[in-house]
Amino acid sequence: MTKINSLIIIATLVFASSCQSGGDETVDDSTGATKESKIYYEGEKHFTNIKQLTFGGDIAEAYWSFDDSTLVFQASYEAWGTQCDQIFIQDVATSRMDSIKPTLVSTGLGRTTCSYFLPGDTTILYASTHLANEDCPPTPAHREDGKYVWPIYKGFDIFVADLEGNIISQLTTEEGYDAEATVSVQGDKIVFTSLRTGDLELFTMDIDGSNVVQITDELGYDGGAFFSPDGSKLLFRSSRPKTDEEIKEYKDLLIQGLVTPTEMELYICNVDGSDLKQITQLGGANWSPFYHPNGEKILFSSNHASEKGFPFNIFMINTDGSGLEQITYDGVFDAFPVFSYDGKKLVFSSNRNNNGTHDTNLFLADWKD
């Protein structure tokens, strides 16, 4: 659920020249969208009434309020006064983010990530580095070995704020990385990723931050977790080294506060960590998973079908690993698919319709099974 910008920029640089360009617009009767417009691609049969919500910057990871009226998301956009990711909210029905800045609900300091509404829709949680340093933390320098890495900022902690941006409480105080928190549909539990044991593992806690329980314990990066609709299971991405060479590389990078996200697969376990199962064995980077409302399918982003690591598109798969289906057909980057609680709408992040820039925007579509 984090460190998207470098991934998006690389994808955009490679595919900017091959992005679908505008032309004569032909209405598709099944979707109401235009086949030649850059917000819709041929074959996206599960989308109707697709709409672009934002129009610039690096904007991603949008999550719904419990009443499905509002989105909370992270954005790095100079036009909105941010130098690195900060958290914003916006009412969906009255969205005018092409001309009106949404409401900032983080402090504007440090870097933030992974926001989520709490029950009642009057508070949100998010991770922030502002207590460690009020400046944006540095991005990793280009490596001589050419490896693509994500930073794991040790200053991240998880906070609760009201919708005016006032911090109400701090949920984590452990040394090191605490982030990637999401909330169960029932509103009673939070799952998050932490480095407190020396490895990047999943933990759960009660909604007030108490009763912290470690869920995973195998070497590797476990993150981006979500609860199943009934709250009984956890779905997450993992990059788990197996060979001696992979293990050494993972440990060496982790000491530097880095991980490589180029090989990730999806896993499911019970909410207590039992009955762990690997869902995908596709190769490449399989990440940003989210449950279909029926609890029997999963949407996720993947580059497994891409010859050079790009593009990333959204796919759907059964929870037993069968029935793989491609959902989006973008030429660059689609990720972070998130269903509304009523299951009728899907919000996702995409490089489509960015006029060849590096911009990543939010898109909204009615979902059609």
The average confidence (pLDDT) of the chain is 90
The values of phi and psi at residue 162, to 5°, are -85, 180
3-class DSSP assignment, residue 365 = strand
Of the pLDDT bands very low, low, confident and very high (cuts 50, 70, 90), residue 104 is very high
Report pLDDT digits (tens) over 110-143: 999 999 999 999 999 999 999 999 999 999 888 8
CATH 3.40.190.10 fits 5-367, yes or no: no
CB 132 within 8 A of CB 112: no
Distance CA(295)–CA(202), nearest Å, equals 21
Residue 46: which of 315, 360, 336, 303 has the closest Cα?
315
Q: Are 289 and 266 in contact (CB under 8 A)?
A: yes
Per DSSP, what are the bridge partners of residue 258? 151
Output the pTM of the full model: 0.91
CB 346 within 8 A of CB 337: yes
3-state DSSP assignment of residue 347: strand
Alpha-carbon gap, residue 140 to 223, rounded angstroms: 20
Q: In the prediction, which pLDDT does 321 show?
A: 97
- For residue 102, cis peptide bond before it (omega within 30 degrees of 0): no
Q: At 163, is the secondary structure helix, strand, or coil?
A: coil
CA 324/CA 219 separation, integer angstroms: 28
What is the DSSP code string of 89-156?
EEESTT--TTTS--EE-S-SSS-EEEEEEPTTSSEEEEEE-TTT-SSPPPPPPPPTT----EE--TT-
Bridge-based pairing state of the strands 103-104 and 112-117: unpaired
Measured between alpha carbons, how far is 295 from 314 in angstroms, rounded to an integer?
Answer: 17
Lowest mean pLDDT across 25-39, 123-137, 172-186: 25-39
C-alpha 317/C-alpha 15 separation (Å) is 26
311-339: per-residue pLDDT in tens? 999 999 999 999 999 999 999 999 999 99
Smallest CA-to-CA distance from 35 within 332, 12, 47 is with 47
Would you tell me how many other CB atoms lie within 10 Å of the CB of residue 253?
A: 18
Residue with token string 């489509």: 352
Where are the domains positioned within the chain?
Answer: 5-367
Tokens found for residue 213: 């329980």
Residue 17: pLDDT over 70: no
